Amino acid sequence: MARPAAAILTGGATPALSPDDAARAIPASEDARRALRSWYAHLASERRASTATLANYHRDVTRFFEFLCEHLGGTPGLAELENLQTRDLRAFLTKRRDEGLKPRSLARTLSSLKSLFRFLERAGILTNTPVMAMRGPKLPHSLPKPLSENDARALIDEAQDAGRLPWQGARDTAILILLYGCGLRIAEALSLKRGDVPFASTLRVTGKGNKERIVPLLPVARDAVDTYLALCPHALSAEDPLFVGTRGGALGQRQVRASIENLRLRLGLPDSVTPHALRHSFATHLLAAGGDLRAIQELLGHASLSTTQIYTEVESQRLLDIYDKAHPRAKG
C-alpha cells in the first residue's frame, strides 16, 4: 500500500516514495500522472535529489493539483496545465498564503512548480510561459544567527549531563561536535555508518545532491565518537547507522532538534539555537579567525561562493555591533 507523502518528512529516516507511488498520490488525469511519474523519477535518479527535497517538491505539487481540482472544477490533465494563466497561479499562491505559508515557503512552492513545468517543457510534453515567467514573493534579507564561541562550548559541554543515560549524552555530544567542529549538516551527520569508524584525520561527507567533500576531523571529534561507541549498548554492524536511538534504530533529525531545544532551555539560550546554527557558527568563527572564504566554501560544500559570502555580512555586522557598544564617539 502506498504511504502518504507526509510519511517521508521524517528527516531522511524513511525512504522516499517510488515514482509510481508519488504519481498515484497526486489527483491528476492519467496523462498528467504519467508526466508526473517521469518528473519525479528525473528528480530522484538524474538530479539525485535528497529525500527531503523530494518530499518538499511532491507535497507542493500535490497541493497545487488539489487546488486545481477545485479551481477548475475537475481533475487536471496536460491540456489544463498547458492553458494555465498567471491569474491561476496567483490564486493558488494567495490560497497558500492565507493558509499560513510564509514568503520563504511560498517561494519554495513556486520553485517546485517551476521544476515540474521546466521538466515538461524540456521533455517536449507541454510549454506554459505564464507559469515560468511568474515571479516569487520578495524575501526578507536575513542573516544566519551563529552562537558565540562561549555558547557553542557551553552547549556541547551540557550535552553529556543532559542525556537520560550516559551513552545518550555521549551520543549527543559527538553529534554536536561534528556539527560545530566540522560544519556538517544534521542530515550529513546522521547519514554516517558504523563502518565509517574509526575515523581518519579527514571525513568524506555526502552532502546535497549526493556531492562528496572532504572535511578535516578534529581529534576531539574522533574522541567523542569513540566515547559514544564505547558506551552504546547496541551491537551495530558496519552498515548500521552510526547514531542510533533508544531502541537501536536510526536516530532522526527530529530527535536531535528536540535534544538541542532541551539544551537551549537549560542554558537560557535564544530560540535561534538550532542544529543548523552550529553549522553557521562553524563558518562564522572560522571567518572571524582569518579563514579563507574559498576554503570555507569547500568545507561547507556550497556550490556557489555567493552562498558562503553571507558569512562576511555576519562578521561585518558583528564588528559594527562591537563598535557601537565600545567606541566613545558611537555613544552619542
Output Rg (C-alpha) for the chain, integer angstroms.
23
**DSSP per-residue string spanning 39-56:** HHHIIIIIS---HHHHHH
Establish whether 208 is a catalytic residue. Answer: yes
Out of 40, 57, 228, 311, the active site residue is 311
- Catalytic residue selected from 37, 194, 222, 302: 302
Integer Cα distance of 191 and 194 in angstroms: 10
Question: Rounded CA gap, 88 and 232, in Å?
Answer: 55
Active-site pick, 42, 145, 208, 266: 208
Beta-carbon count within 10 A of 57 CB:
23
Residue at 137: amino acid letter? P
Question: Per the residue annotation, which of 58, 63, 194, 279 is the catalytic one?
Answer: 279
Catalytic annotation present for 279: yes
Are 78 and 35 in contact by the 8 Å Cβ rule? The answer is yes
Pairing of strands 202-206, 212-216: antiparallel
- 82, 128 contact by CB (below 8 A): yes
Distance separating alpha carbons of residues 228 and 234, to the nearest angstrom: 11
Active site residue 302: yes
Q: b/e for 277-288, b at 16 or more Cβ within 10 A?
A: bbbbbbbbbbbe
The active-site residue, picked from 185, 222, 280, 318, is 185
Considering the candidates 24, 193, 276, 318, report the single residue annotated as catalytic.
276
**185 part of the active site:** yes
Is 64 within 8 Å of 25 (Cβ atoms)? no
Q: Which residues contact 219 (CB under 8 A, 6 or more apart)?
A: none
Whole-number Å distance between alpha carbons of 160 and 137: 43
Contacts of 203 (CB under 8 A, 6+ apart): 182, 196, 214, 215, 216, 217
CB of 241 within 8 A of CB of 250?
Answer: yes
Report helix, strand or coil for 202. Answer: strand
Active-site residues, by number, are: 185, 208, 276, 279, 302, 311
